Amino acid sequence: MVFLTDLRKHNRIVKSINQTEGYLTTQVAFSYFEKGDQSLTMSEKSQWGSKLGFILASAGSVIGLGSVWKFPYMTAANGGGGFLLIFLISTILIGFPLLLAEFALGRSAGVSAIKTFGKLGKNNKYNFIGWIGAFALFILLSFYSVIGGWILVYLGIEFGKLFQLGGTGDYAQLFTSIISNPAIALVAQAAFILLNIFIVSRGVQKGIERASKVMMPLLFIIFVVIIGRSLSLPNAMEGVLYFLKPDFSKLTSAGLLYALGQSFFALSLGVTVMLTYASYLDKKTNLVQSGISIVAMNISISIMAGLAIFQARSPFNIQSEGGPSLLFIVLPQLFDKMPFGTIFYVLFLFATVTSSVVMLEINVGNITNQDNSKRAKWSVILGILTFVFGIPSVLSYGVMADVHIFGKTFFDAMDFLVSNLLMPFGALYLSLFTGYIFKKALAMEELHLDERAWKQGLFQVWLFLLRFFVSSFQSSSLWSSLPNLCNQKGLE
């Protein structure tokens, strides 16, 4: 799930819903429809059509722009292979245990993310954990869609439908003209959100699963093509060696913290994404095996992105050209020198869409409680609300460039709120809930770790990591974010 630290309040909907079956009137705030404990029929409830669809959709949700621009940039700035090694270890000790926790909670409850914690904890006071994820994903999509819109514009330019570069190849000027033009940026953002609405409104099987089965294999194929082409460039092996060879002398404390954080950021943990996807699963699917597959795919894409970019660009240039400048200025210049350069923009679009659809899907599920009969309507409503809330992020590079919240533009402030506060808070409470409140017997049953003694031993290791290691890291992550916030001014 992947975050844009280089780039850089909440609408409430309150409505009364009369449920004729139970004569219950429920008050709704933004993303919470109560449907009591009424069960939905198989045709009404959202479900995955296959285990493969679940794995590909889950992997797609975590493979986003962070894998393409942030991971290579941070690797280059923090000792190459040394950073990569820390990331791999922390993924096993932090990311994977938390991923299994979300899987177990989601499938065991089988309801929306917000209702999961109240149901399993037998007290609705725990539902605030689901609310953290709901708010985080709503805010995240509001500014993530801005980036998605920029990618659509670039793709349109490549196909010659919107602009002509006039042979100058001045991508820095082009990028500046796009982000500073409200009309272009807003139309592009709206188009990107419409694409997400279309996919999510079609449902889990016909929308998200079908799209993931097409986009994820193509994503891997495109990366293979990029790596193969990059190998033919001058000094390609120099970049490969820099990427893989550890140099711990260049691994800063900030880089170490990011490598640890990337282990759960890269898996979209702490905001109930994986929890919701697991709630669509049948009881036969092995969660541990599925989790291993998803983690392996995420690591593979991150490494492939690093190999492709390091081969094509000097590691020293990557250190100073990370983030949006790498994606929208540096890499397009390289694409111009390669045949079929359009394929790269298609890759970026796939990486963005596979992540963004889940941001909309989770809150559609929260509102409808996974009732497909309401899916289309609320996909549109939430899409519109996301667009409206995202307007200040679009204007952060234009008329609102001088408006700051705690020293940050609106875009950057929303990014900080999600990445540095909401996600770590969500992950902390989720790990504590699973470690101390979620019944052990249910967790063992969901993870299929209750059959033999050695499996029960693995369960105890998993529980220990959640209770102490994962929760301690999340607390440290939150603590490290406070000075950055407190040292800034308020609204300017």
Number of domains into which the chain is organized: 1
**Is the alpha carbon torsion for 459, 271, 273, 344 positive or negative?**
negative
**Which pLDDT belongs to residue 341?**
65
Is 2 part of any domain? Answer: no
Which helix (H) or strand (E) segment holds residue 375: the answer is helix 375-395
The answer to whether 154 and 332 are in contact (CB under 8 A) is yes
Place of tokens 């290579």: 72
Say if 443 falls within a structural domain. yes
Each of the 492 residues of the chain gets a pLDDT tens digit; together they read 433 444 333 333 333 333 333 323 333 333 333 344 444 544 456 678 788 888 888 888 877 777 777 777 778 778 788 888 888 988 888 889 999 999 999 999 988 899 999 999 999 999 999 999 999 999 999 999 999 999 999 888 877 744 554 444 678 888 888 888 899 999 999 999 999 999 999 887 777 888 888 888 887 887 787 777 777 766 677 777 777 788 787 777 777 777 777 777 778 888 999 999 899 888 889 999 999 999 998 888 888 877 777 665 555 455 545 567 777 877 777 777 666 667 777 878 888 888 898 899 999 988 987 677 888 999 999 999 999 999 999 999 888 888 888 788 899 889 888 888 898 889 999 999 999 999 999 999 999 887 777 788 888 999 999 988 887 777 776 666 665 555 554 444
Nearest to 348 by CA among 301, 380, 392, 316: 301
| DSSP H or E segment with residue 415 | helix 410-416
Does residue 218 sit within a domain?
Answer: yes
Residue 415 lies in a domain: yes
Task: Assess if residue 256 is contained within a domain.
Answer: yes
Residue 491 is assigned to a structural domain of this protein: no
38 Rama sector, left if φ>0, alpha if ψ -120 to 50, beta otherwise: beta
Q: Which domain holds residue 429?
A: 14-486
In the prediction, which pLDDT does 331 show?
Answer: 74
How far is the C-alpha of 361 from the C-alpha of 378, rounded, in Å? 10
C-alpha distances out from residue 64 to 263, 290, 354, 442, 463, Å: 14, 19, 7, 32, 29
Q: Which residues contact 269 (CB under 8 A, 6 or more apart)?
A: 1, 95, 98, 99, 102, 423, 427, 430
Secondary structure of residue 16 in the 3-state scheme: strand
Residue 124 lies in a domain: yes
Report the CATH number at residue 140: 1.20.1740.10
pLDDT at 82: 85
CB distance 460 to 451 below 8 Å = no
Residue 402, domain member (yes or no) = yes
List C-alpha distances in Å: 372 to 61, 219, 286, 363, 365.
21, 29, 25, 13, 9
